Amino acid sequence: MENGDIVKYLPTSTVGKITGLRTADGRQWAKLDHTNLWYDVTQLSPCDPGEYKPVSVKYRESKVKSRDDLVSDLHREDATVNDMMIVG
């Protein structure tokens, strides 16, 4: 297995493209782009490229908000509630 290979993690049928390889704890691990997690290569199997659905970086990043963004969202919601209380 090498970077760029399309593989399936057998226990869950997760399909992804290998983006990194490393050896740790006496085992070889492969990082998959879809989950950004490391998998024991003994549990991976090459699969048909037609099963692979690329995940855009934009999609992955949109799931994670910074602390500052979360605080800003709360302040905006708080201001909206305060405006509603003043009007109503």
Instruction: Tell me the pLDDT tens digit for each residue of 16-53.
Output: 999 999 999 899 999 999 889 999 999 999 999 899 98
**Cβ-contact 7, 30 below 8 angstroms:** yes
pLDDT (mean) for 49-74? 74
**Cβ-contact 56, 48 below 8 angstroms:** no
Does pLDDT of 82 surpass 70? no
- At residue 75, the pLDDT reads 81
Identify the residue whose tokens are 């782009």: 33
Chain mean position to CA 88: 43
Is the pTM higher than 0.75? no
**Cβ-contact 44, 29 below 8 angstroms:** no
